[in-house]
Structure 1
Amino acid sequence: MGMSVTISAARAQDAEQILKLQYLCYQNEAELYGDYTIEPLTQTLDDLRAELDRGHGLVARLGDEVVASVRGTVDESGTARIAKLIVHPRLQRHGLGGRLLDAIELHFAGEPAARRFQLFTGHRSEGNLRLYRSRGYAPVSAEQIGPRLRLVTLEKEAAAEVYAASA
């Protein structure tokens, strides 16, 4: 009998596992763009801990192992900025990324309620773009970061009933 994946709030003691998973997951992105200096690969443990303290993080666990994670913040305009959605390579394409994305959106539907959700990915990251579009995100801008990388920002409005209920 196999174990099931559970999603819960990230804890301070998860930071090291999240960072190791982040390093593993962003190898393909670095290879795709020919740039191993991207921020997810150079982020320090202290920086990650500070990021978790400033916002909210979720992890997916298989037993005691952190196998996926996502984090984000809500700014004063009501925009929830979702970042670093990662899933262990052996568990990709099984719906876990979508479950985490849904879970962080649900979290940010609480107080203070987000009016919109925003995230970004590289222009060649077809799997990410496909996932985000399937969840209702649409491209709103693109920024050239380097000779090979253009970041695409995608956004969607929060469901009207979510922020109307909090008004």
Structure 2
Amino acid sequence: MSMAESQLHSKMPLRMVLMGVAGSGKSTVGEALAKRLGATYYDGDDLHPQANIEKMSRGEPLTDEDRWPWLTKVGERLGEAGDTLIIGCSALKRIYRDHIREKAGATVVFIHLSGSRKVIESRMGARTGHFMPTSLLDSQFATLEVPGEDEHAVTADIDQSLDDVVREIVEKLEAYRA
């Protein structure tokens, strides 16, 4: 790691959640951001109970009751992190983000990947092998509560190249110290 990269890494928060509706690019951006920061990226979808995956695969939106065990696992994984960790997790409501913070027991910065329904629907239609059908996008947008100014959050516009999305996030994260 170069000196500049080391300095950049030391300025970054230790625990981050890439959040947004399905299709906003959490996995793609998460992997690229982790590489840029020398962090570990973990896909929060891998923490879903099988019952949740089956429900979403049938086109049924999750309820809050379905989400709590998953959000608990996300928060606990963040709390166990010994190094810089980024987890992709929709975290659509403030109460979900508060729960993740509580379970992590540490400062968590949320990175909201924001885009228009048209852009996200196009991306969802192009991807393969994911359990979340495009039909659930309406419920995702209906559930989304954009992070407030008091939430340790930054927002990045996804309607740009991957490199530009990552660059925007890194610039905004420089305001936070680990």
TM, length-normalised to structure 2: 0.33
Greater helix share, 1 or 2?
Answer: 2
Report 1 or 2 for greater relative contact order, CA contacts < 8 Å, sequence distance ≥ 6: 2
